[in-house]
């Protein structure tokens, strides 16, 4: 019996050894991926539903539910990434190989394999997101302002003391996040290293169909293309702010104080247009007033956005979109008001979540968010891992390219404007747009420059705030309005840092949107000055656009870019062409001024 048992043991051990050493086949890989996509698709729907409820009904319970759902997704993805390693080195068709790559890159917050650490990290992530959503600036009088109220007051006030108070008040939400954020970085890096990446930043940069270092270099190439345009704008704006507030408040040859640019983060300068020295109503119309004259409500604003897409041949949004979206801030509860687009079931349950105000910037934002929704629906027939933008910059650029076509010509076509202003009104219009699109570019770049250095350890927790303001000065030429220390955590006052949303996508989007826009203008047969083009109503532009959208992430992004534009490289020449008349005008106004800081 002992001899028989020994023989059986040898046979069993041999079988186990052979099974462990047997090389997986292509059929094994295909079966693994089929099951993985089915599992992740099911979990993503559960996560989307939990996230929707958590952001629309912020309570301790919904935070816990959302954290649990995200924990389950993170656990499954981490497990699948680990299991997928057995297929390393196996020769696969390009589509299958791409799915294995995208599986590895699918977590923006890679979690450790240890379930205790993983749960700790997902709980921290939910708490940071909720802290931002609940954030308020409470004045000494007892009045408390949420982010929508702070943004509105920052946009309208011209009182430097009030602006400073608002700026300081909102930034008080950051310090309580600091220690948890540092711990989140530690845990996320551990997860990234367990997946084979140097750190979380390297993982993020690997999602662009090129090596991480090559991607970083490409960002610098793009920034250097557009930097002269930004410098022209910065120089002009600074000179006008000196006239408004005096050289004691605004240094004539230094960085601009961050509280004076009409936006809590100084990322969008459109609200200071009225104090920039151009005659009142010089752009020929006030879009906010036009919208109010129509007695529009929030849903009516969204109807205009939908109408642009349907005019290009896209199907209308589903009935459930209108029933399930959040268009206005509820009076009875806190919600995360940061505008976002949702695809709950990866098919047709499309929604937006916005606290819409009847104003020009929200009209533009509506077009942007619907761009996400129409993109999501265009690629819904793709396999789960291809249901995404060609790269994350594409997703952000889609709606923005439509918003660029919200020109006076378009406003006249849809009955918002009686007549198109003459050509001399182009400079005010372009300046208004530059205060949004061009002013944003360095901010869009620096957020992740900071985070990548945090993830790599180049920026230590003891220097978080110092490094933040060094980068803001380097790229933006803005400075804090009051002295800041490491008792502050100013990055936490920005939603995308608190919510762990990668930000380079927005920089890329602000380049790509002009590239997409120029291509659609050509497809529509337009031949005039680029800034005057609208392709509203062009089925030809819509058909070309849709070729790119329906590809999702199934091919490397240069293939998708080529389908939509005929070009294979992200290129800043379109934004330079669009703003060329303005840059010429700015440079004339800036004669004798110091450029830069």
Query: Where in the sequence numbering do the catalytic residues fall?
Result: 369, 496
Burial class (CB in 10 A: 0-12, 13-18, 19+), 381: exposed
CA-based end-to-end distance of the chain: 89
Burial class (CB in 10 A: 0-12, 13-18, 19+), 366: buried
Among candidates 274, 147, 238, 178, which has minimal Cα distance to 476? 238
Among candidates 425, 419, 285, which has minimal Cα distance to 360? 285
Q: Where are the beta strands (DSSP E) in 276-434?
A: 340-343, 350-353
DSSP codes of every residue in 404-465: HT--HHHHHHTTS-SSPPPGGGHHHHHHHHHTTHHHHHHHHHHHHHHHHHHHHTSS-GGGHH
DSSP codes of every residue in 24-82: PPHHHHHHHHHHHHHHHHHHHHHHHHHHHHHHHS-SHHHHHHHHHHHHHHHHHHHHHHH
Pair of tokens at residue 132: 């931002």
Dist CA 335 CA 355 (whole Å):
9
Query: Given its phi and psi angles, is residue 596 left (phi above 0), alpha (psi -120 to 50 degrees) or beta?
Result: left
Q: Is 379 helix (H, G, I), strand (E, B) or coil?
A: coil
* CB contact at 8 A, 294 and 24: no
């Amino acid at each position: 019996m002992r001899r028989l048992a020994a023989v059986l043991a040898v046979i069993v051990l041999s079988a186990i050894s052979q099974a462990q050493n047997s090389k997986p086949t292509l059929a094994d890989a295909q079966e693994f991926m089929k099951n993985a996509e089915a599992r992740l698709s099911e979990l993503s729907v559960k996560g989307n539903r939990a996230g929707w409820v958590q952001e629309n009904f912020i309570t301790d319970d919904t935070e816990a539910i959302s954290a649990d759902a995200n924990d389950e997704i993170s656990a499954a993805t981490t497990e699948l990434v680990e299991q997928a390693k057995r297929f390393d080195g196996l020769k696969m068709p390009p589509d299958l190989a791409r799915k294995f790559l995208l599986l590895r890159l699918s977590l923006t917050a890679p979690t450790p394999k240890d379930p205790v650490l993983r749960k700790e990290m997902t709980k921290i992530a939910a708490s940071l997101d909720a802290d931002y959503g609940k954030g308020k600036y409470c004045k000494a009088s007892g009045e408390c302002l949420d982010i929508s109220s702070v943004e509105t007051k920052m946009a309208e006030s011209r009182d430097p003391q009030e602006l400073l108070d608002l700026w300081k008040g909102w930034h008080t939400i950051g310090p309580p996040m600091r220690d948890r954020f540092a711990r989140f970085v530690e845990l996320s890096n551990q997860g990234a290293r367990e997946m084979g990446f140097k750190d979380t930043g390297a993982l993020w940069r690997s999602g662009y169909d090129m090596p991480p270092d090559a991607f970083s270099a490409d960002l610098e190439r793009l920034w250097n293309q557009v930097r002269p345009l930004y410098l022209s704008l910065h120089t002009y704006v600074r000179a006008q702010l000196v006239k408004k507030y005096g050289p004691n408040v605004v240094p004539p040859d230094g960085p601009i104080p961050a509280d004076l640019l009409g936006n809590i983060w100084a990322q969008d300068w459109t609200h200071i247009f009225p104090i920039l020295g151009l005659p009142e109503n010089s752009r020929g119309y006030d879009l906010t007033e036009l919208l109010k004259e129509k007695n529009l409500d929030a849903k009516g604003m969204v109807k205009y956005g939908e109408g642009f897409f349907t005019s290009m041949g896209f199907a209308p949004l589903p009935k459930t979109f209108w029933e399930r979206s959040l268009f206005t801030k509820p009076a009875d509860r806190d919600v995360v008001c940061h505008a976002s687009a949702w695809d709950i079931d990866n098919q047709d349950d499309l929604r937006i979540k916005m606290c819409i105000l009847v104003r020009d910037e929200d009209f533009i934002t509506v077009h942007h968010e619907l761009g996400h929704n129409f993109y999501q629906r265009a690629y819904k027939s793709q396999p789960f891992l291809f249901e995404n933008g060609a790269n994350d910059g594409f997703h952000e650029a889609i709606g923005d390219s439509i918003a660029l076509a919200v020109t006076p010509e378009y406003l006249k076509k849809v009955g918002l404007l009686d007549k198109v202003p003459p050509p001399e009104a182009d400079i005010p219009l372009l300046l208004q747009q530059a205060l949004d699109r061009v002013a944003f570019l360095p901010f869009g770049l620096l957020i992740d420059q900071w985070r990548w250095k945090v993830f790599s350890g180049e920026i230590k927790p003891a220097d978080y705030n110092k490094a933040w303001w060094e980068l803001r000065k380097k790229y933006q030429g803005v400075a804090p309005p009051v002295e800041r220390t490491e008792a502050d955590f100013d990055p936490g006052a920005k939603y995308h840092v608190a919510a762990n949303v990668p930000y380079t996508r927005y920089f890329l989007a602000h380049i790509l949107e002009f590239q997409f826009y120029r291509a659609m203008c050509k497809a529509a047969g337009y031949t005039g000055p680029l800034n005057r083009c609208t392709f509203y109503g062009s089925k030809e532009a819509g058909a070309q656009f849709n070729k790119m959208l329906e590809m999702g992430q199934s091919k490397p992004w240069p293939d998708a870019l080529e389908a939509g534009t005929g070009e294979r490289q992200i290129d800043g020449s379109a934004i330079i062409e669009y703003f060329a008349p303005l840059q010429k005008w700015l440079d004339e106004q800036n004669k004798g001024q110091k450029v830069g800081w």
